[in-house]
């Protein structure tokens, strides 16, 4: 059945380069120009956010692109206010494309008298009129259950698998995928299955939040090229210490594949001085200049997979098909040629 509306993109200020890249990819996929809806998002003198949409969006299928990264509160409020503006402008459907879902670490009560902020954010998004969520690598899978609307959670591991196969051709029998903690085993196992590599675990014990007292390696990493896999890297303290421990246990090289490069505070300096050969992150969070300049940090694009996911949602086809290498490889063939 032919579509009655066109997919329309609108973006906040959190990650405009990614939004523009998604628009370019959609133009390439469809052969029809897709641009960002003209709008302004500005602040009054007291930092109050104001949004004005300059194009008619009545009856349109709107995709609102905005990560809730640093500054998390400002970007979250932009997202909510833009959603309200679209709803009051009679948009037919509003899908929030949130490459990095902030507050996801607060997904449960770890001690008495603490909030479950991820659930609060979910309520706010639905209350603002958002009818569907498209995101990548939620910190905890159960966050999908906080919503009473559809949530499509894309994964970075299929993209990372393509990157590993491309970068380490001829050395795949030396690979070892490493989970930086017991809680991340499922995520690490997913990449290990895709590249047919064994799995190891770094078991860490914390004295208090943010401080790791002891680390032990479960599995034989001697002579292996170790790939640490996690969903986010904040200050990089634990990541760099895990790299040191793996090298002490005889690892040949240590690389890290992290979905969301939060990289706050001393993170970039720690990574550049660490024993890690490389840290690979996605552009779900707009990289800062120090991140771009770091010699051992690489960024892989997510625009191809987000563009295709948006088109699949718009035309009513499967989003989960993008988890398969056969479907994803053609989308990334210009970046990773020669992989079948």
Q: Look up residue 211 and give its two tokens.
A: 């401080």
278 by DSSP, 3-state: which?
strand
CB 36 within 8 A of CB 23: yes
Cα gap 22→308, rounded to integer Å: 9
How many C-beta atoms lie closer than 10 Å to residue 306's C-beta?
Answer: 26
204 is catalytic: yes
DSSP-derived secondary structure letter, 286 = P
Q: Please report the beta strands in 108-236, taking only residues with DSSP state E, as ranges in sequence order.
A: 132-136, 151-154, 175-179, 199-208, 211-218, 225-233
Q: Are 99 and 55 in contact (CB under 8 A)?
A: no
Alpha-carbon gap, residue 98 to 117, rounded angstroms: 16
Catalytic residue (one of 204, 208, 224, 241): 204
- CA distance readout (Å), 258 to 97, 230, 335: 20, 5, 18
CB atoms within 10 A of CB 186: 9
d(CA 327, CA 303): 15
Q: Which residues are catalytic?
A: 204
């Amino acid at each position: 059945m032919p579509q009655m509306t066109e997919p329309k993109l609108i973006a906040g200020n959190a990650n405009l380069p990614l939004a523009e890249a998604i628009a370019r990819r959609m133009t390439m996929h469809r052969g029809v120009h897709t641009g960002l809806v003209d709008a302004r998002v500005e602040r009054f003198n007291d930092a109050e956010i104001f949004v004005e949409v300059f194009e008619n969006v009545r009856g349109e299928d709107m995709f609102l692109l905005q990560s809730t990264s640093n500054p998390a509160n400002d970007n979250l409020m932009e997202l909510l206010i833009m959603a309200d503006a679209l709803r009051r402008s009679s948009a037919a459907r509003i899908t929030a494309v949130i490459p990095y879902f902030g507050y996801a670490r607060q997904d449960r009560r770890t001690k008495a008298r603490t909030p479950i902020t991820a659930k609060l954010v979910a309520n706010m998004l639905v209350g603002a009129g958002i009818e569907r969520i498209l995101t990548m690598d939620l910190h905890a899978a159960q966050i999908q259950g906080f919503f009473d609307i559809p949530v499509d959670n894309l994964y970075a591991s299929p993209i990372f698998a393509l990157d590993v196969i491309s970068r380490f051709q001829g050395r795949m029998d030396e690979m070892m995928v490493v989970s930086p903690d017991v809680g991340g085993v499922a995520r690490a196992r997913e990449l290990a299955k895709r590249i047919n590599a064994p799995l190891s675990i770094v078991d860490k014990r914390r004295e208090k939040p943010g401080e790791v007292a002891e680390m032990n390696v479960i599995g034989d990493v001697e002579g292996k090229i170790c790939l640490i896999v996690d969903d986010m890297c904040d200050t990089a303290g634990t990541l760099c210490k895990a790299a040191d421990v793996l090298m002490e246990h005889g690892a040949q090289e240590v690389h890290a594949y992290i979905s969301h490069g939060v990289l706050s505070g001393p993170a970039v300096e720690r990574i550049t001085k660490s024993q890690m050969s490389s840290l690979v992150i996605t552009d779900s969070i707009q990289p800062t200049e120090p991140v771009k300049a770091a010699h051992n940090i690489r960024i892989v694009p997510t625009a191809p997979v987000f563009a295709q996911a948006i088109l699949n949602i718009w035309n009513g086809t499967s989003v989960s098909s993008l988890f398969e290498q056969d479907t994803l490889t053609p989308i990334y063939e210009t970046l990773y040629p020669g992989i079948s």
